[in-house]
Structure 1
Amino acid sequence: YGLVSELAGVDKEDKAAEEANKWLETQGLPLLLPVDSVPQWEHFLNGTNGRPQSLYVSNKAVLKWPYKLVAGDQVYSMWSGQLYPNCSTIASIATTGPALPLLDEIHLFGELLNLGLPQEKVDAIMDIDHCGDGKLFNVEEDPTEQTDLSADAKYAATLQGLRKDLEDFNKGIFEPNRGAPVMGSCWSSMKVGGVYGPFVATDNFYSPVAFTPKQLEDNKTATRDLEYVERVLLPNRTKQIEWFTEQVGDLSRLLNGKAFDKCLHPDSGVETAVVV
């Protein structure tokens, strides 16, 4: 954002946010943070570092060039070749889990879906690296982050400094209560032609919709589905799991590799895999 603003010759600061902060302050509410994007064009031209201070990557990672700290449980911590998955991947499924990681925290109807797997299996299929208080990498010399420097006394000060930076950043993390899924949005969508939009206190908000014959039929199907969700699925977690299993089938088929068809070994010696 800072770079594009610089190239366009416009101010990167958010004047509307600055004005809003005046009112927020009088109400004792949290203020909107300033834009932290740094214009980079001149740094590109001059070969200089445009952000020598720490950069907040996530609530589990911080970067202060050339050092990067990653902490906590890091999912998808893996290195793959240019072609992935391949035949070697499939051959090792029994010990390393499926070739493709599962999604992080699968939710069903707004609640975390427990697949009933032991933590060791979850670690394997999601390639979780338990980084604890943090692993330290020099991303200039080690861009693929394979050499952890956190145990090297030479980097102790850097390690502690980045841990402190991450702790300070996380004190101001924006993590509001985002509410829970509600059926009202679905019912409202159906009434206005199948599009999402405002659904709270929307009496007389939408213009009348002239439904096509197909939309009328679709609404009948949607009504049956929504009523089933409200009456049967939402109040009963067991029913939700049964419904999920009926829709997606046996997840163990993915976990034990049966979702893969066969490996092809072309004359070139390059491994390939066919996924079905």
Structure 2
Amino acid sequence: MVLVDDWGWSNVGYHRAVATKEVQTPNFDKLCAEGIELDHHYVHNVCSPTRSSLLSGRLPIHVNVNNGDATMHNAKDPIGGFQGIPRNMTVIAEKMKQGGYATHQVGKWDAGMATRDHIPLGRGFNTSFGYFHHDNDYYTTKVGSCKGVKGGINDLWMTEQPAYHQNGTGYEEYLFEQHVLQVLQNHDPSIPLFLYYAPHIAHTPLQVPQSYAEKFSFIDDKTRQIYHAMVNYLDDVIGNVTNAFKQKGMWNNTLMVVSADNGGPEYAGGGANNYPLKGGKTSNWQGGVRVNAFVSGGFVPESMRGKKLNGSIAVCDWYATFCHFAGVDPSDAKAAAAKLPPIDSMNMWPYVSGQVTTSPRQDVPIGGRDMVQGLVSGDYKILIGKVGTAGWTGPQFPNTTDGHPTGGIDITEDCGTGCLFNIKEDPEERNNLAASMGDMLKQMQQKLAKYQETFYNPERGNKDPAACDAAIHRYEGFWGPWVD
């Protein structure tokens, strides 16, 4: 499983009708062409909720819609109050381990770190190498601040403890690539493998080795230049990882699932582009929640290779799909005992493999910060309330159509009780049908209201100063779990 951070819809070659040297993603393009493009793959509009959804098998509205600080803690609710995934929800790695898989995590976590139950090791991963927060410096690995500490706190973790002596040794994505390659080199091919690689690229801070920046020196906008260089860097990493699977003799029996965690950021300083979709990261327009996604690898049936599937798939659906491969029950008895929401995941393999022609998922509720703000149901989509990033870019961001040529899209549209779109006929969400299709609007409002009744958003707590105490005194300048 590869979950790419802040990857814009138009920042991959296979979504470009006309080739441009700004977008250089030959490995992603080849993998998609040899696999199956998932044209309506939905996620949350920001990082942590999507990761929580993927790992827990729940729609974001049933696990986490909070993208706050990883050091948040609610002492009154040790079951479900921490940032990220409640500790009494079963994460996919635990299920895969039950099925006999070796389990490894590399890269961004962003799904909770308050206790050792919340980090990858406590969630069923045999090994991990990555960071806990949204973003750290690609070279120093520092992020966040604690009183009395200059320059920030290191955020780099190796399975059971801080990754001492790894911080500051190179470009972080290179370190992650090398670790993925090491996992593959050390793996016994007779044992099934579940590898979750969540690159830092292309999240801020926008940093890339100089040789890659120079490849894109023809781009006059610095933000866009570095962003495109970072995506190209990751494309090379994916090519190297794919080759390692092939050299190990594992590719023919591998299913590689690739998805972005949200739409690309089109606000000032973001550098991404979701053209021709409306909006981007942090918004619930299609550009924020409908993302680049495909499956590839030798396990893809030959009859399905090169196809594009138009049915809805939610990122949480990979949970039940992976459980199907592992031969384990996807239901979550631990969560049921703790009276937490059950999984929403649907096994997508019959659809993806061509055994059936329609997706089992018809509804994708879309979470806002404090409510269910939208719903995709069949061909239609409803949004309510105020929705930001309400504009479109041109083929080259930041030449936007909303009068902000260098500052990104900062328009907010008030949908009130409902903006309605036929997203199959109008994927760019330009024609609001609310006034002309009153019956459909009412039907969608009623469906959305039903999901609203199930909205799960416990009190997550506040930033806990004890996290800094642990970082300084227990972990010698590194972030790590601080609640016993």
Matched, 1:65 2:378: yes
Matched AA of 2:359: N
1:125-274 alignment, distance < 5 Å: 126-152=410-436, 155-192=437-474, 193-200=476-483
Deviation at 1:162, TM superposition (A): 1.3
SS of the aligned residue for 2:468 comes to helix
Aligned residues: 159
Structure 2 unaligned blocks of 5 or more: 1-318
Deviation at 1:7, TM superposition (A): 3.6
Q: Could you say which residue in structure 1 is the equivalent of 2:323? A: 5
Deviation at 1:188, TM superposition (A): 2.3
Matched AA of 2:381: K
Question: Which of 48, 52, 56 is the matching residue for 2:365?
Answer: 56
CA RMSD in angstroms comes to: 2.3
Structure number with greater CO (CA < 8 Å, separation at least 6) is 2
Over the matched positions of the two proteins, sequence identity in percent amounts to 30
Matched, 1:78 2:391: yes
Q: Kindly name which structure, 1 or 2, has the bigger radius of gyration based on alpha carbons.
A: 1
Deviation at 1:143, TM superposition (A): 1.4
Structure 1 unaligned blocks of 5 or more: 22-30, 102-124, 203-276
Question: Which of 15, 23, 33 is the matching residue for 2:341?
Answer: 33
Deviation at 1:78, TM superposition (A): 1.6
Q: Could you say which residue in structure 2 is the equivalent of 1:96? A: 403
1:40-51 alignment, distance < 5 Å: 40-44=348-352, 45=354, 46-51=356-361
Q: Could you say which residue in structure 2 is the equivalent of 1:113? A: none
TM-score (norm 2): 0.31
SS of the aligned residue for 2:420 comes to strand
Deviation at 1:81, TM superposition (A): 2.0
SS of the aligned residue for 2:417 comes to coil
SS of the aligned residue for 1:159 comes to helix
Matched AA of 2:345: S
The answer to whether the Cα contact below 8 Å between 2:398 and 2:405 also exists between their aligned partners in 1 is no
Deviation at 1:174, TM superposition (A): 1.7
Deviation at 1:98, TM superposition (A): 6.4
SS of the aligned residue for 2:463 comes to coil
Greater percentage in helix: 1
SS of the aligned residue for 1:13 comes to coil
Deviation at 1:36, TM superposition (A): 0.8
Matched AA of 2:450: D
Structure 1 consecutive aligned stretches of length 4 or more whose deviation exceeds 6 Å: none
Task: Provide closer, same or farther for how the CA distance between residues 56 and 139 of structure 1 changes in structure 2, counting only shifts above 3 A.
Answer: same
SS of the aligned residue for 2:421 comes to strand
The separation in 1 between residues aligned to 2:389 and 2:346, in whole angstroms, is: 29
Task: Provide closer, same or farther for how the CA distance between residues 6 and 143 of structure 1 changes in structure 2, counting only shifts above 3 A.
Answer: farther
SS of the aligned residue for 2:444 comes to helix
